Amino acid sequence: MDDESTVEQTFIYRLSEKPGLAWFKNLIFVSSNQDAYTPFDSARIQLCQDALNDNKSSKGNGQQYIQMSWNLLNKLQTKLIYRVDVDFQIQSKGLDSFIGRTAHIKLLDCDQFLELFAHRYQEFFE
């Protein structure tokens, strides 16, 4: 969110104002505390304590983060949202696991996880 001087002008904020999520009948937000690339609360589109605590600060962006969440969730046609938390048994000690990238990649590219996920939530993929 450094592409503009104010949060409200950033690409990601302006994207939150678009109707995209409203086009989906089913929503499943998948997150992992091990993922250091996508913040846990952001992946779940839920308010984090930092944003709530920063709500009244003139220096912080808490109010803008709260507004972005509202922008995304307010347009939804469905009232049913699934939030799935994933914990991978990461045993590697390489650079990817050190910087928190391993879990991020596993959420996107682990065949075992994707097959299990698709099987568990198969009604959403029909």
pLDDT in tens, 17-43: 998 888 888 888 988 888 888 888 888
Average pLDDT over residues 110-126: 85
Q: Tokens 């590697």 map to which residue? A: 92
Give CA–CA dist 41/22, Å, rounded: 20
* pTM of the predicted structure, to 2 decimals: 0.73
DSSP bridge partners of 28: 82
Q: Is residue 83 a contact partner of residue 29, using CB atoms and an 8 Å limit?
A: yes
pLDDT above 70 covers a percentage of the chain that reads: 92
**What pLDDT, on the 0 to 100 scale, is given for residue 98?**
67
Distance in angstroms (rounded) separating the CA atoms of residues 17 and 38: 20
